[in-house]
């Protein structure tokens, strides 16, 4: 077994409840909801008119006007989150450009630019598609733009595993470090899918909450009255390093990456295996790789999207993995605050776990009022809770039966 230890030295976040890790974490702990009526486009004719948009975000406050013109909104989120994570880490001056790499996670890349351009092209005679169109919509160009901005020349990969993309970006980055392909890796994830095409498609599949008259509490994970998830958007980034490299440059360590695992259900293109087989294996394998017993986990950041089937399946899986200890294990879903950030959520929710370990606070599951007999765990309802946490696990599940789990914990130097 590879004994290389991997640590996190930087974090960055762009979310519907705050831009920057401090603002994001503060809003999570205070129970702020980022869900409201859609303002980016006219949604009045759509069956779902609510979402968790990133608010008060002006990309030119962080990026050049030229770069903003050349990139899709999901890339804006990725670039800003990466910028914050790299600044906190302070790693760039201490590593050769070829020894730092990027793994980018995104589920739908530049879908808003694609949909908007197609609409213009179909409605406007003689409309000329911009030469910037193709690089604006390709998923891997987000990593390219980050590399150009920061002089990064190491491995560069882009993963698309639906809503598991963020956790899989972290896991892939970790594997590259353990394989000796880099000393530092930047894992980034970002998505912005808020456009009429995506809202309509997901609404028709009955995946979304239709609480248009009560947007703030529409996302209510594990609650008996939940009726679907709320679309969100954002970006997250973490800087991963070998512990040896961080020690050598005297970098400040935020947490240690203890374990990661991923798999597929092999069951259905959209529905999870109702027995939770894949989710169970992902958590069990992550624990095995971390060398931890189930009762050494102090907090589970659940995928918890607020869908009936998904929340029931995850509850079943957690009970299968943690046994009797599950009754006393705090579990919360931060999606009640942020909505579902799609591929971006895997990293922003891992950051929530890191902060929970560091601050000894568990963020709550918002809008939990009506217990569901099929969801019978401790979901930390509505208020943050103090807790001494050594290690925390974050789950991410996606269409296609994608399952991923990552464990972070306090760093104990040798």
Q: Can you state the percent helix, strand and coil of the chain, rounding each to 5? A: 40, 25, 40
User: In the block, which residue shows the tokens 């990293």?
Assistant: 347
Please name the residue that has the structure tokens 């130097």: 413
Find the helix or strand (DSSP H, E) in which 34 lies. none
225-245 pLDDT, tens digit per residue, is 999 999 999 999 999 999 999
Q: Exactly one of 76, 195, 219, 340 is catalytic; which is it? A: 340
Categorize the per-residue pLDDT at 21 as very low, low, confident or very high, splitting at 50, 70 and 90: very high
For residues 23-32, give the mean pLDDT: 98
Which one is catalytic: 163, 219, 353, 375?
Answer: 163
**Catalytic annotation present for 303:** yes
Residue 2 has pLDDT above 80, yes or no: no
Question: Is residue 21 within a helix (H) or strand (E), and if so which, with residue range?
Answer: helix 21-30
Question: What value does the mean pLDDT take over residues 387-409?
Answer: 97
Query: Measured between alpha carbons, how far is 113 from 133 in angstroms, rounded to an integer?
Result: 8
Q: What is the pLDDT of residue 126?
A: 87
Is the per-residue pLDDT at 411 higher than 70?
yes
DSSP states along 318-369: HHHHHGGGGGG-BEE-THHHH-B-GGGHHHHHHHHHHHHHHHTEEPPBTT--
367 is catalytic: no
Per the annotation, the verdict on 150 as an active-site residue is no
Same CATH topology for 6-248 and 261-399?
yes
Fold topology of 261-399:
Peroxisomal Thiolase; Chain A, domain 1 (3.40.47)
Output the average pLDDT for the chain. 97
Catalytic site residue from 76, 174, 245, 303: 303
Residues 6+ apart with CB under 8 A from 410: 255, 256, 357, 358, 390, 391
With 60 as the cut, is the pLDDT of residue 268 above it?
Answer: yes
Query: Rounded to an integer, what distance in angstroms lies between the CA atom of residue 66 and that of residue 355?
Result: 34
Every domain of the chain and the residues it spans: 6-248, 261-399
DSSP bridge pairs for 397: 403
What would the mean pLDDT of 131-135 be, rounded to a whole number?
A: 94
- This prediction has a pTM of 0.97
The CA-based dihedral angle spanning residues 325, 328, 329, 332, taken in that order and rounded to the nearest 10 degrees: 140
Structure tokens at 354: 């890191």
109: left (phi over 0), alpha (psi -120 to 50) or beta: left
pLDDT at 1 over 70: no
| Arithmetic mean of pLDDT, 289-301 | 98
Helical packing angle, 111-123 and 73-89, nearest 10°:
160
Domain 6-248 belongs to what architecture? 3-Layer(aba) Sandwich (3.40)
Q: 404, 159 in Cβ contact below 8 A?
A: no
Please report which confidence band the pLDDT of residue 3 belongs to, taking 50, 70 and 90 as the band edges: confident
- 263-297 exposure pattern, b = at least 16 Cβ within 10 A, e = fewer: bebeeeeeebbeebbbbbbbbbbbbebbebebeeb
pLDDT value for 414: 79
């Amino acid at each position: 077994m590879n004994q290389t230890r991997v640590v996190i030295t930087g974090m960055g976040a762009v979310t519907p409840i705050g831009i920057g890790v401090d603002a994001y974490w503060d809003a999570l702990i205070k129970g702020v909801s980022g869900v409201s009526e859609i303002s980016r486009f006219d949604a009045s004719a759509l069956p779902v008119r609510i979402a968790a948009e990133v608010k008060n975000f002006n990309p030119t406050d962080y990026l050049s006007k030229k770069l903003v013109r050349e990139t899709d909104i999901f890339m804006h989120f990725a670039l800003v989150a990466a910028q914050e994570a790299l600044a906190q880490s302070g790693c760039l001056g201490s590593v050769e450009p070829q020894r730092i790499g990027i793994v980018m996670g995104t589920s739908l890349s530049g879908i808003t630019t694609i949909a908007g351009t197609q609409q213009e092209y179909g409605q406007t005679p003689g409309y000329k598609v911009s030469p910037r169109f193709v690089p604006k919509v390709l998923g891997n160009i987000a990593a390219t733009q980050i590399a150009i901005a920061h002089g990064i020349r190491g491995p560069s990969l882009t993963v698309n595993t639906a809503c598991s993309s963020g956790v899989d970006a972290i896991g892939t980055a970790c594997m590259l470090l353990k394989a000796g392909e880099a000393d530092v890796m930047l894992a980034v994830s970002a998505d912005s899918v808020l456009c009429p095409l995506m809202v309509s498609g997901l609404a028709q599949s009955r995946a979304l909450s239709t609480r248009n008259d009560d947007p703030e509490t529409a996302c209510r994970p594990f609650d008996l009255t939940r009726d679907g998830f709320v679309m969100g958007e954002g970006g997250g980034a973490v800087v991963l390093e070998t512990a040896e490299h961080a020690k050598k440059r005297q970098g400040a360590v935020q947490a240690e990456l203890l374990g990661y695992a991923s798999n597929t259900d092999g069951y259905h293109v959209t529905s999870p295996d109702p027995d939770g087989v894949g989710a169970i294996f992902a958590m069990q394998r992550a624990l095995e790789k971390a060398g931890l017993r189930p009762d050494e986990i102090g907090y589970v950041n659940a995928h918890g999207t607020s869908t009936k089937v998904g929340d029931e399946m995850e509850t079943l899986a957690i009970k299968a993995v943690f046994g009797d200890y599950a009754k006393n294990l705090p579990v919360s879903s931060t999606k009640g605050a942020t909505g579902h950030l799609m591929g971006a959520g895997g990293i922003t929710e891992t950051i929530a776990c890191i902060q929970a370990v560091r601050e000894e606070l568990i963020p709550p599951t918002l809008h939990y009022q009506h217990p569901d007999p099929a969801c019978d765990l401790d979901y930390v309802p509505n208020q943050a809770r103090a807790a001494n946490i050594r290690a925390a696990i974050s789950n991410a599940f996606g269409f296609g039966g994608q399952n991923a789990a990552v464990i972070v914990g306090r760093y104990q130097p040798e």
